[in-house]
Structure 1
Amino acid sequence: MVYCKWAATALTLLTVSSVGVEAVPAKYKPDPDPIKLKEKRALAPVTLTIGPATKTIGLTTRFPTLGTASLSLSLSPIPVSSTTKSSTLPVYTLPTTTPIVYTTPGYTTPGGYGGYTTPGTTTTSKTTTRTTTSSTKTSATPTYTPVVGANNTCYNRLKIETLQRTDPDQFNMLLLAWQKVQATPDSDPFSHYQLAGIHGAPFITWQMGPGSYDYTRGYCTHGSALFTTWHRPYLLALEQALFHAAMSIASTFTGTALTQYLAAAGRVRLPYWDWADPTTQSYLPPITMATTVTVIRPDSFGNPVSAVINNPLFAYNFLSASSIAPFGSPFNAHMSTRRYPDGSWNDRSYLASSNMQGGFSSRVTSTYTAFLSGSYNLFSNRIEGVHDGVHGATGGGGNMGYVAYSSFDPLFWLHHCNVDRLTAMFQATQPSLFVTPASAVGTFARPVPPNTIDDQTTDLFPFRRADGSWYKSSHLNPVSTIWSMKYGYPEVPCSYQGKNPADLDTFTTGQVNTLYGKGRTPIPGTVIRDWNVRLLIDQAEIAGGFDIYVYGGTRPSDPYNDPYGKGYIGSLSSMSMGSVDQYKQSRIRFVDVSLNSYLKDYGYYGSDPYKITSYLTQDLYYTIIANGKPCYFQDLYTAKYAVYSRDIYDDGKPDVLPYYSSDYYYHVNVTEKYVGGIKSIDEIQYPFKVDGTREIPWAENTTSIKT
């Protein structure tokens, strides 16, 4: 692992393009020292890691050339047995009480929810000690609140623009509830501070007892086959807090307003931001960019009154200097979250919104083709790649660009709610596909040694179910399990409970085609050619965060200051973990950037493949930015790009998805002359990691090489 080497003239445009490599040596000779290239060239055969198995094969090609409401709320804790202890994880005592069911118009605050106080702790003699360079911390075994979401009727989570327009009462209660959760003391596990902190900083336990923890990372499972499943109970935890906060606030209205707002509070669910919706075209929802918002809230007599409050969807304001004291720079110096901030930490959500719109066309196509994936893991990886690009476009040097700090921005939750929605839609349309074993990724509560496997039975720490067991991916399949969590989506609606799964498949498939398949040709028997650039890198090669950008037709005059400008098609984004000095776990990350819309814009889509490849050879440009500075392919060992195409068969039926009808065709002639471009099929099928071993990060069919 090495830092990317910075050139002395950082403002000089150094970009690999189809017309050559600018400002780099004509003959590329990579520095072999960091990877001991000469020694590794002598190694044969090569061991490939394929999920939980390994396979040894011989390869002819060795290595490449390289006014606030004062109401409060509490989630009732469930105590841990005081007599049974565990050396690694706390022992959970099953609940003995019957769950509270809310009804309207009346509402009775259940025991434990009235004050929203911190669940108590059961202190034992068993402690765990964390030693750092500056301090030693001891944790006691806490009590628990299961993550179960709302506990009334199943309601659909709605697109935020739709929610604001069609159900203003629910939207009003959502704003009041989110404001309340954000104002809840940091010590409360269901405060915005602690819920956001599960994802990363301040790297503390969440409702878990003594154990061995990795204090360099959060609980999240980025880069893992569990990426989509882990975030489902995570979202549910915030939804649970919002629901109960809304019910608590609504119960203080009086008269007819009590009935009205209790009913609205009962419908409160997390909304989503559909960044691939052809109507809104990836722009940030306008409500998320407004600094204040007008709400209806109860006065001291329970009467509804209008008030202007700080918009809880715009930013999260930390409660005190001690809240940010554990954070790294620059986040330990700012009391509010920001998107794409300038040097003075002024919010530039308008720029984040513009960045998002720049990659809209490719994002829609990439989202659509993700539904054509032949495995759940491949779908999850593809959606995570699109998801990463959203973080990159909206983060800049702000919260959304860092794994450890992104979840403090309210936009994070709308963004991930959409990821969960797309996951549910895939489950509905591909009910036979789900998580398969793959190499594990270490997290805060699960440091993993080499050759550890993630699968459907892996515990999704730190989330517990109603019976006290840890959530596992297996608990989240089939898709109907979301309805038992009291939510659905317009494309996977609560109204389909009890219906034949085949009917849901038909309905959801039609929604996928309608929303994201705008480029389909509704002619039965049509075969179209799908064009993509695959970008890949071992994420451990560059410290901090980095992006690999693809431009076509033209490019920004200064891509380092305007990376999402003219000509931007798509990118591979890898967020910083917590600082620009931190390396990630070694793992091949890749993203497929669709070229279809770009080729249509320039009149080449549907042309003869040889004409297209000739054009792409001359017209695609690639730029790498690491931690805000230029980085170059010749200084990297694992960064590669390849152009491929596949045939897609479409029978034109609105309730049937197209499918791939050919193998991958890698057009090596487009890239072989350029640094970073693949020169042999091995480089893309069996890419190198930083330690010189190879990894197969996705399932490939038989692949053809086209020149």
Structure 2
Amino acid sequence: MPRFDLRSARERNGTSPTDAARGDARGRVAAVLAPPMRESRPDTVQLPSTVAGAGGEADGTASAAAARRAARRVRRATGFLRRLYAPFAASSFSAPSSPATLADAHRHGRGASGGAVGAARLPNMAPDHYLITGRTGTGVHDRLDIEDLQREPRQFTLFVLAFLALQGRGDAFEGLVVPPAARFAELAAIHGLPFTEWIGDHTSSDADYDPKDPKDSQPFPSRFGGYCSHGSVAFPTWHRPCIMSIEQAIGDVAVQLAERLSANSSSEEAAQWKDAARALRFPFWDWAAEKVATNGVPKVITDEKVSIAMPGGVVKEVENPLAYYPFDTIPEGFRDEVFDVKAYFSQWKRTFRYVQSTTQPDGNGNASMNAEIKKRAASIRQGVGRLFTYDDKGKPALVWDEFSNHTTQSLRKEDYYNINSLEGVHDGLHGFIGGNGHMSFPDYAGFDPVFYLHHCNIDRLFALWEYVYPQYYMGKGYPSDGDTIPFTQSLGTYNLVYNAVLDGKTALAPYRTENSEYWTSDETRFLDGKYYSYPEVAGVKIGRDITDQQRIEARKSLQKHYGVHDEVPSLAGQSRGFGASSCRCSTRSVLLP
């Protein structure tokens, strides 16, 4: 597996960053504001129309404002530098599923059916901000493993249909209220490309990424243009509101769907659908579970069709929103990338995992992905288990730095890579899942739906870790020779310049709380007030009252559960990626007898 490559795409491929400009700005604005009509598909789920949606045209002022914002985004996007912040592509590939050409009217003030949605009717909206509040008013419910969610028929049906609605797939969602910022194409674009302002956070700043500004384009390697935090102590904290955002968007749609689906049902069944909508949380895929070595990737992630249970016991087969995402228009900045083989991101009309290196792949690569995941399963489990081998004697900021990210800035070693961190484990899975597809390249990964299942599991591990290690945190920096050295975001992000200081108060843009202030790492810590939790694992249930001695016992249980004591053979190719560096382990201790 390759390690993170911090060079820009231009530096890797020898091409100009201006190659991406396609057409004039006026044409691009028109394409964004007036996406093509969507195709009608015979397998579309027909929902009862008894419950009316909230349609209606937005007023002229709102439309004009939307047009101005879109034009501004296009101007800022033109000519930007493309680069991969951290590619991790696997080396074996096979044929993918056939490409799909599916239109999705999903952007800039459009309803799920393509009609405009009145701004006053959009949930979780403040002026120019889509607020990430979590699933308020629904109680606290566990996020479930995706296969466990599938065994909850009503929740699973609502999840699948809501995700399809966010992706703009199908004509059965007429009138559903989906804020423009909550559409999948917009949420997916936050993480990496197209390096533009998220429409859920219209806030200009001198620090924002601008490809025409020498502060962003001239240094080497060039500044990262996405919002996501990688290679820093904010890696786990930034991604927490990231997953909350899609959980909230799907939950809001699920509530509307439950009303529609139960419109002609008995009062008892209607109550069951509404209860399912309230309980629905975004699922995770536990790729470190023991069964993965035998079963590989769950079929619910790979099959392009999935069965759902409709009211009255009717079973319906629909498109699977987890298998891939079909682009209406390939996002600005997508370009072909060369790693072990060429990935045709500028031409593929949908997301892929493990595909033939051709512009029109004609099969699917599930067999290759399954083989890779099974081969890596034991190593993945041990990597997770090692996260719980710290003792209680470490210095809080140093331990947090070592746990949270693959850079471990406090070691002050150039080109150091910490495989034994949470982010190090995370990195490997991106490549094991993606192959030469979108998931393996952080600029594009957010568009693969499995990204969110993966990061939900990362958040689960983070939640377990902070439950058994509550004393460890970034604070205001790490100790060095009597001083406190601040942590930084070395390559910057869309809203953080090079070497911006990171601490518990740093804004985790573009995500804003119910008070319209940015989430901070301090606010993301622990699961209090976030309306979700996780199921018990190895006898450890997050949120349960626990003593210091019980925390030690919990760490023992987690080590045993993830097989820390097992012997794991060396994996071919691992030295290219995640075994290249050793980790500072002075604060580690295997607690098993």
How would you bin the TM-score normalised by the shorter chain? 0.5 to 0.7
Are the counterparts in 2 of residues 428 and 508 from structure 1 also a CA contact under 8 Å?
no
In structure 1, what is the Cα distance between the partners aligned to 2:240 and 2:402?
18
- AA aligned to 1:439 is T
List gaps (5 residues or longer) in structure 2.
Answer: 1-5, 10-42, 82-107, 109-125, 171-177, 212-223, 337-343, 406-420, 478-486
In structure 1, what is the Cα distance between the partners aligned to 2:272 and 2:317?
21
Give the CA RMSD over aligned residues: 4.0
1:336: which partner in 2?
Answer: 350
- AA aligned to 1:171 is F
Distance 1:509 1:168, change over 3 A: farther
1:162: which partner in 2?
Answer: 148
| Per-residue deviation, 1:508 | 4.7
| Per-residue deviation, 1:161 | 1.9
- AA aligned to 1:196 is A
Are the counterparts in 1 of residues 292 and 377 from structure 2 also a CA contact under 8 Å?
no
Are the counterparts in 1 of residues 387 and 403 from structure 2 also a CA contact under 8 Å?
yes
1:402 matched to 2:402: no
| Per-residue deviation, 1:170 | 1.5
In structure 1, what is the Cα distance between the partners aligned to 2:540 and 2:195?
36
Q: Which residue of 284, 288, 291 maps to 2:297?
A: 284
1:177: which partner in 2?
Answer: 162
Are the counterparts in 1 of residues 489 and 496 from structure 2 also a CA contact under 8 Å?
no
Question: What SS is found at the alignment partner of 1:251?
Answer: helix
1:147: which partner in 2?
Answer: 132
- Give CA deviations for 1:191-211 in whole Å, capped at 9, x if unaligned: 111111101122221122222
Once the two structures are superposed, the pairs formed by residues 77-116 of structure 1 within 5 Å of their partners are 114-115=54-55
- AA aligned to 1:379 is F
Once the two structures are superposed, the pairs formed by residues 533-544 of structure 1 within 5 Å of their partners are none
Once the two structures are superposed, the pairs formed by residues 344-493 of structure 1 within 5 Å of their partners are 344=358, 345=361, 346-373=363-390, 374=394, 375-381=399-405, 382-436=421-475, 437=477, 438-450=487-499, 452-477=500-525, 479=526, 482-491=527-536
In structure 2, what is the Cα distance between the partners aligned to 1:449 and 1:231?
20
Distance 1:131 1:245, change over 3 A: closer
In structure 2, what is the Cα distance between the partners aligned to 1:643 and 1:455?
23
| Per-residue deviation, 1:144 | 1.4
Distance 1:422 1:496, change over 3 A: closer
In structure 1, what is the Cα distance between the partners aligned to 2:78 and 2:8?
25
1:262 matched to 2:274: yes
**Bigger share in strand:** 1
| Per-residue deviation, 1:168 | 2.6
Q: Which residue of 320, 323, 329 maps to 1:314?
A: 323
- TM-score, scaled relative to structure 1: 0.55
In structure 1, what is the Cα distance between the partners aligned to 2:285 and 2:524?
22
1:536: which partner in 2?
Answer: none
1:293: which partner in 2?
Answer: 306
1:243 matched to 2:229: no
Are the counterparts in 2 of residues 170 and 265 from structure 1 also a CA contact under 8 Å?
yes
- Give CA deviations for 1:63-97 in whole Å, capped at 9, x if unaligned: xxxx335779xxxxxxxxxxxxxxxxxxxxxxxxx
1:68 matched to 2:44: yes
How many pairs does the alignment contain?
A: 435
Are the counterparts in 2 of residues 341 and 397 from structure 1 also a CA contact under 8 Å?
yes
Distance 1:463 1:376, change over 3 A: same
1:201 matched to 2:193: yes
Question: What SS is found at the alignment partner of 1:189?
Answer: helix
Q: Which has the larger radius of gyration?
A: 1
In structure 1, what is the Cα distance between the partners aligned to 2:285 and 2:249?
20
Are the counterparts in 2 of residues 488 and 494 from structure 1 also a CA contact under 8 Å?
no
| Per-residue deviation, 1:306 | 2.8
Are the counterparts in 2 of residues 150 and 486 from structure 1 also a CA contact under 8 Å?
yes
Q: Which residue of 52, 72, 76 maps to 1:130?
A: 76
Are the counterparts in 2 of residues 71 and 248 from structure 1 also a CA contact under 8 Å?
no
- Give CA deviations for 1:133-166 in whole Å, capped at 9, x if unaligned: 499xxx9x9621210121211001111222223x
| Per-residue deviation, 1:571 | 5.0
Are the counterparts in 2 of residues 117 and 188 from structure 1 also a CA contact under 8 Å?
no
Question: What SS is found at the alignment partner of 1:331?
Answer: coil
Distance 1:266 1:442, change over 3 A: same
Question: What SS is found at the alignment partner of 1:350?
Answer: helix
Are the counterparts in 1 of residues 310 and 316 from structure 2 also a CA contact under 8 Å?
yes
- AA aligned to 1:367 is V
- AA aligned to 1:453 is V
- AA aligned to 2:286 is D
Are the counterparts in 1 of residues 191 and 443 from structure 2 also a CA contact under 8 Å?
yes
| Per-residue deviation, 1:496 | 6.2
Distance 1:501 1:261, change over 3 A: farther
In structure 2, what is the Cα distance between the partners aligned to 1:323 and 1:309?
24
Give the fraction of aligned pairs with identical amino acids, expressed as a percent. Answer: 27
| Per-residue deviation, 1:118 | 9.3
Which protein, 1 or 2, shows the higher relative CO under an 8 Å CA cutoff with sep ≥ 6?
2
| Per-residue deviation, 1:396 | 2.1
| Per-residue deviation, 1:514 | 4.4
Distance 1:362 1:500, change over 3 A: closer
List gaps (5 residues or longer) in structure 1.
Answer: 5-66, 73-107, 521-529, 532-550, 553-566, 574-590, 594-639, 654-707
Are the counterparts in 2 of residues 269 and 487 from structure 1 also a CA contact under 8 Å?
yes
Distance 1:225 1:181, change over 3 A: same
Stretch deviating more after TM superposition (439-448 or 143-152): 439-448
Distance 1:273 1:570, change over 3 A: farther
In structure 2, what is the Cα distance between the partners aligned to 1:398 and 1:414?
16
- Give CA deviations for 1:169-224 in whole Å, capped at 9, x if unaligned: 22222111111111179992101111111011222211222224225521011111
1:620: which partner in 2?
Answer: none
In structure 2, what is the Cα distance between the partners aligned to 1:122 and 1:510?
59
Distance 1:357 1:71, change over 3 A: same
Distance 1:513 1:307, change over 3 A: same
Distance 1:307 1:3, change over 3 A: closer
In structure 2, what is the Cα distance between the partners aligned to 1:326 and 1:70?
36
Question: What SS is found at the alignment partner of 1:512?
Answer: helix
- AA aligned to 1:471 is W
1:230 matched to 2:238: yes
Distance 1:287 1:471, change over 3 A: same
**Bigger share in helix:** 2
In structure 2, what is the Cα distance between the partners aligned to 1:117 and 1:244?
21
Distance 1:643 1:380, change over 3 A: closer
- TM-score, scaled relative to structure 2: 0.64
- Give CA deviations for 1:550-608 in whole Å, capped at 9, x if unaligned: x94xxxxxxxxxxxxxx5273564xxxxxxxxxxxxxxxxx5x4xxxxxxxxxxxxxxx
| Per-residue deviation, 1:336 | 1.2
Are the counterparts in 1 of residues 307 and 318 from structure 2 also a CA contact under 8 Å?
yes
Distance 1:449 1:326, change over 3 A: closer
